[in-house]
A = this chain, B = another copy of it.
């Protein structure tokens, strides 16, 4: 007889869901893992894995290589990993894998639809990890076979000749730089007035310079009006101006993400949601309904695989060890974009900084790889920097953004430094291998200390004045 009662049900076998399900099963809990599509979720199937494979192959693409072969290889590697993960998940002790679409019938039970079969399962704990999908953009006249989102982009078997990308965020930029290297002509347009609009302006400026140098055309504060199949042209509108983009063979829509809420029937669970932001949870991943948790893209607080994993690990601890103390504070979440150059940041956002500290208490230090590090010189880095926001006088690090060839690996140094509440004085005492980009960290510390010590009186008074001053 099939068991339909579990300790925990996890809905969605993406990164977050897998982390939670495997974690709890490993601790001996009976777990059901429900997945409507592919094991691995967007990350394995239509996100990180195929995109990073593509970025890697594009970086090593040589004159005369076949770009279509790159796309085939991406699909092959993605499928191999998917098959492996699918097989592994079915062999984990204490874990029951259930294929199907889950909807709540009560706060503790779900109905799973799979083809014409239906099954009811229940558990004390239910973790929602259904993720997100691409926000849709309707472009009148654009046929379906020319419309891409991340969901079908990695089914391509041929490199587009001319790809138009709607959006200028993470996915848009990663694909723009990669396909550009394969010889695809790229045009981007976005509603925002700059690329990576949620980053500090210095990032947008440097990325724009890199886009310009790569020959990628960009249009900001721009919308798509229509597509004309007869001559394959896309009509854009920027203010009062109309721009015709000729010979467009595909359009990638990458203008944001929408949480996968609809199928869940959340009203039956008593979980109230705002469809535009997803399922709101506290720092432990709990909804307002006891026993119902949510992690990953379906929550407003996470948009990355690693943040979904981090949330998953916290929920595992919360469910398996309810009596163990768990810090109310969520861990620091760094982020990384694998554009060329890469972008990474950690610490307080500019909004959070402005809410917490008086602007005159913050000192911003910027070091440019090209002029301030020898590695930037040897490697001919045009755009790249480390920007650190630190407390005046004390040098405590609050926020770091790195832009450069290895930013995604360098940022963990600062995750650790901020986590340890370290100051730039302490980073000055470390030795960094030469010639690396990381030796720019020493330069940041050096600049801060020089600027502080040469006007120590002024810095001291400013610190006293603004330390307790109201922010803003």
Q: Complex formed: what's the CA distance from A335 to B333 in Å?
A: 28
- A334 and B433 within 8 A (CB): yes
Taken together as a complex, chains A and B put the C-alpha atoms of A433 and B62 apart, in Å, by: 29
* A77 CB–B CB distance under 8 Å: yes
Bound CA–CA A410/B432 (angstroms): 11
- Determine the chain B residues whose CB is within 8 A of the CB of A420 once the complex forms: 416, 420
Most chain B beta carbons < 10 A, residue from A307, A331, A412, A420: A412
* CA gap between A53 and B376 in the complex, in Å: 10
Known: A412-B441, A416-B417, A438-B409. A432 touches B306 (CB 8 A): yes
User: Do A429 and B53 touch (CB < 8 A)?
Assistant: no
Task: Give chain B nearest CB distance to A451 CB in angstroms.
Answer: 14
A161 to chain B, nearest CB (A): 22
- A331 is contacted by which of B415, B431, B438 (Cβ under 8 Å)? B431
Residue-wise interface mask of A (209-236) relative to B, using a CB-CB cutoff of 8 A (1 in contact, 0 not): 0000000000000000000000000000
Task: Verify B435–A309 contact, CB threshold 8 A.
Answer: no
Q: Which of A392-444 contact B (CB under 8 A)?
A: 406, 408-413, 415-417, 419-420, 427, 429-439, 441
B contact residues around A375 at 8 Å (CB): 52
Interface contact A431-B416, CB-CB below 8 Å: no
Q: Is A304 within 8 A of B433, CB to CB?
A: yes
Q: Which residue of B lies closest to A327 (CB)?
A: B429
What copy number does this chain have within its complex? 2
Is A89's beta carbon under 8 Å from chain B?
no
CB distance from A267 to the nearest CB of B (A): 33
User: Is A81 close to B, CB under 8 A?
Assistant: yes
Contacts of A378 in B (CB 8 A): 48-49, 52-53, 56, 77
- The contact of A56 among B309, B379, B434, by CB within 8 Å, is B379
User: Given the complex of chains A and B, what is the CA–CA distance between A437 and B411 in angstroms?
Assistant: 12
**A310: interface (CB < 8 Å):** yes
**Given known A331-B429, A378-B53, contact A434–B48 (CB-CB < 8 A):** yes
Inter-chain CA distance A415–B438, complex, in Å, is: 12
Whole-angstrom CA separation of A420 from B417 in the bound complex: 10
Q: Which residue of B lies closest to A408 (CB)?
A: B436
A374 within 8 A of B: yes
Question: With A and B bound together, what is the CA distance between A441 and B413 in angstroms?
Answer: 12
Instruction: Say yes or no for A240: interface residue by CB 8 A criterion.
Output: no
Complex contacts, A374 vs chain B, CB 8 Å: 48-49, 52, 81
Are A432 and B334 in touch, CB under 8 angstroms?
yes
The reply to whether the CB of A380 lies closer than 8 angstroms to some CB of chain B is: yes
B residues in contact with A52, CB < 8 Å: 374-375, 378-379, 435
Tell which of B305, B408, B412, B439 touches A430, judged by Cβ atoms closer than 8 Å. B412
Collect the chain B residues with CB atoms within 8 Å of residue A431's CB. Answer: 306-307, 309-310, 331-334, 415
CB of A336 within 8 A of chain B? yes
Tell me if A64 is interfacial: C-beta within 8 Å of chain B: yes
CA distance A309 to B429 in the complex (A): 12
By a CB distance below 8 angstroms, the chain B residues around A62 are: 62-63
Using Cβ atoms and an 8 Å threshold, which residues of chain B touch A64? 63-64
Of all chain B residues, which has the CB nearest A74?
B378
Residues of chain B within 8 A (CB-CB) of A441 are: 412
In this complex, which of A331, A406, A437 has the most chain B Cβ atoms within 10 angstroms of its Cβ?
A406
Closest beta carbon of chain B to A82's beta carbon, Å: 12
A461 vs B137: C-alpha distance when bound (angstroms): 63
Establish whether residues B409 and A430, one from each chain, have CB atoms under 8 Å apart when the complex forms.
Answer: no
Inter-chain contacts of A48 with B (CB < 8 A): 374, 378, 434-435
User: What are the 9 tightest A-B residue pairs by CB atom distance, in nearest-first order?
Assistant: A336-B433, A306-B434, A52-B378, A305-B434, A53-B378, A412-B438, A56-B379, A310-B431, A406-B409
Given contacts A306-B433, A336-B434, A412-B436, 13 further A-B contacts (CB under 8 A): A48-B374, A49-B374, A49-B378, A52-B375, A52-B379, A307-B431, A331-B430, A332-B431, A334-B433, A406-B406, A412-B438, A416-B416, A416-B430
- 17 A-B pairs within 8 Å (CB atoms) are namely A49-B378, A56-B378, A56-B379, A81-B374, A306-B432, A332-B430, A332-B431, A334-B433, A336-B433, A336-B434, A344-B433, A406-B406, A408-B433, A415-B431, A416-B420, A419-B430, A420-B420
